[in-house]
């Protein structure tokens, strides 16, 4: 179980306070308008920023005292997940050893991860030689080799075509089920997310304004922000 209780952070012009519970092994979709606080939430969990107060627990462990590298999670950004001058295999290898000192067994593991995300044989390519979708899959492969129980995704598929996006979301779901991962995925297409998400949280104004099963969140318009958001059909220009 991932629990955020009153996790508060302050910026010069706004303030965020998060309250959220995600059961272990669940896929929780984070939706909401841009600038509303989805990314901040993920960065708080990842450890890139520090909260003023509140608690962050995963599986009974307090995550707050841990540095970003020590938290049991993997994170994918919207872009720039890979280093352009390293090969795909090396980029994945960073997940095993950030100094890239890899044994033969580890290299085999990398190849396996690449195969799992359907990029077998492309290990020697540089990110510049891969498509957007392929790059994000390399990042997914890296998350796999890290074998962390929690996975955070910050709109990693927003730049892809709808068909590809659908496939990637499906892949994330499959990996989640195979490995028993807890997944938080920020996404700007709630309808697509609702196909795989167990839980959906609507975030705006630095708060989790509503959380529950996807269908409920999409149809229920308790909060005025929710109404505004969904008036556009739940879509926003990425």
Partner 1 sequence: MSRVPGIVALGLLAAIVGLALVGLAIAGGSPDIGGSWTYIRRLIILSLGQAALSTILSLTLGGALALSLARRTQFPGRRALIAAMNVAAVLPAIVAVFAIVAVFGRAGWFGGIAGALGFDFGSWLFGLSGILIAHVFFNAPIAARTFLAGLNSVTPEYWRLAAHLGMKPITIFRLIDRPVLAREAPGVAGLIFLLCFTSFAVVLALGGGPDAATLEVAIFEALRFEAEFRRAAILAILQIGICVALLVPIMALGRRPSETAASGIMQDRTDRSAALWRIADPLVLLFGGAFIVIPLAAIVTKGLADAGSLFEPRVLQALVTSIAIGLPAGLIGTAMALALASLSRHLRVGEGRSRSANAVGMAAILILVVSPMALSAGLFVVLRPLINPFAVAIPLIILVNALMALPFAYRQVEPPLLLSAERYGRLADSLGITGLARARLVDWPLLKRPLIVALAVATALSFGDLGVAAFFSSGDLITLPVLLHQRLGAYRMGEAASVSLLLSLLVLCLFLAAQRWSGDWIAHAR
Work out which of 19, 64, 66, 77 binds partner 1, going by CB under 8 A. Answer: 77
| Bridge partner residues of 152 (DSSP) | 75, 184
User: Does the protein bind partner 1 through residue 128 (CB under 8 A)?
Assistant: no
User: Does the protein bind partner 1 through residue 122 (CB under 8 A)?
Assistant: no
User: Of 70 and 228, which CB lies nearer to partner 1 in the complex structure?
Assistant: 70
- Helix residue ranges, H only, 86-213: 88-93, 104-116, 132-146, 162-179, 190-194
User: Does the protein bind partner 1 through residue 205 (CB under 8 A)?
Assistant: no
User: Does the protein bind partner 1 through residue 48 (CB under 8 A)?
Assistant: yes
User: Does the protein bind partner 1 through residue 79 (CB under 8 A)?
Assistant: yes
Q: Can you tell me the distance from the alpha carbon of 13 to that of 237, in angstroms, rounded to the nearest whole number?
A: 24
User: Does the protein bind partner 1 through residue 136 (CB under 8 A)?
Assistant: no
User: Does the protein bind partner 1 through residue 88 (CB under 8 A)?
Assistant: no
Work out which of 23, 68, 212, 233 binds partner 1, going by CB under 8 A. Answer: 68
Work out which of 30, 41, 75, 197 binds partner 1, going by CB under 8 A. Answer: 75
Nearest-CA neighbor of 155 among 41, 66, 39?
39
User: Does the protein bind partner 1 through residue 94 (CB under 8 A)?
Assistant: yes
User: Does the protein bind partner 1 through residue 238 (CB under 8 A)?
Assistant: no
Site size toward partner 1, by CB under 8 A: 26
Phi, psi of 78 (to 5 degrees): -65, -40
Shortest Å distance, C-beta 217 to partner 1? 26
What is the DSSP secondary structure assignment for residue 70, as one 8-state letter? G
Do residues 144 and 117 make contact, with C-beta atoms less than 8 angstroms apart? yes
User: Does the protein bind partner 1 through residue 46 (CB under 8 A)?
Assistant: yes
Q: Can you tell me the distance from the alpha carbon of 126 to that of 135, in angstroms, rounded to the nearest whole number?
A: 9
Do residues 35 and 215 make contact, with C-beta atoms less than 8 angstroms apart? no
Work out which of 62, 83, 131, 228 binds partner 1, going by CB under 8 A. Answer: 83
End-to-end CA distance of the chain: 30
Candidates 36-44, 171-179, 188-196, 210-218 — which segment interacts with partner 1 by CB under 8 A? 36-44
DSSP 136-170: HHHHHHHHHHHT-SEEEEESTTTTS-HHHHHHHHH
Shortest Å distance, C-beta 90 to partner 1? 10
Shortest Å distance, C-beta 187 to partner 1? 18
Do residues 29 and 203 make contact, with C-beta atoms less than 8 angstroms apart? no
Q: Interface residues with partner 1 (CB under 8 A)? A: 39-40, 43, 46-49, 67-70, 74-75, 77, 79-81, 83-86, 94-95, 98-100
């Amino acid at each position: 179980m991932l629990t955020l209780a009153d996790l508060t952070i302050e910026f010069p012009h706004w303030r965020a306070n998060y309250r959220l519970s995600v059961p272990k092994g669940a896929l929780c979709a984070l939706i909401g308008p841009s600038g509303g606080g989805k990314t901040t939430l993920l960065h708080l969990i990842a450890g890139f920023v520090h909260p003023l107060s509140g608690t962050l627990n995963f599986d009974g462990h307090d995550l707050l005292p841990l540095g970003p590298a020590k938290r049991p999670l993997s994170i994918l950004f919207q872009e720039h997940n890979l280093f352009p001058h390293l090969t795909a295999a090396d980029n994945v290898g960073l997940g095993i050893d950030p100094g890239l000192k890899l044994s033969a067994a580890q290299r085999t593991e990398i190849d396996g991860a690449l195969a799992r995300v359907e990029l077998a044989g492309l290990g020697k390519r540089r990110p510049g030689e891969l498509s957007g979708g392929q790059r994000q899959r390399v990042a997914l492969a890296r998350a796999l080799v890290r074998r962390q129980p929690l996975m955070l995704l910050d709109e990693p598929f927003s730049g892809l075509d709808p068909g590809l996006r659908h496939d990637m979301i499906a892949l994330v779901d499959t990996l989640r089920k195979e490995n028993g991962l807890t997944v938080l995925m920020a996404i700007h297409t709630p309808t697509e997310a609702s196909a795989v998400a167990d839980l959906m949280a609507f975030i705006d104004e630095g708060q989790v304004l509503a959380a529950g099963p996807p269908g409920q969140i999409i149809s229920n318009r308790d909060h005025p922000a929710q109404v505004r958001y969904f008036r556009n059909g739940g879509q926003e220009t990425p």
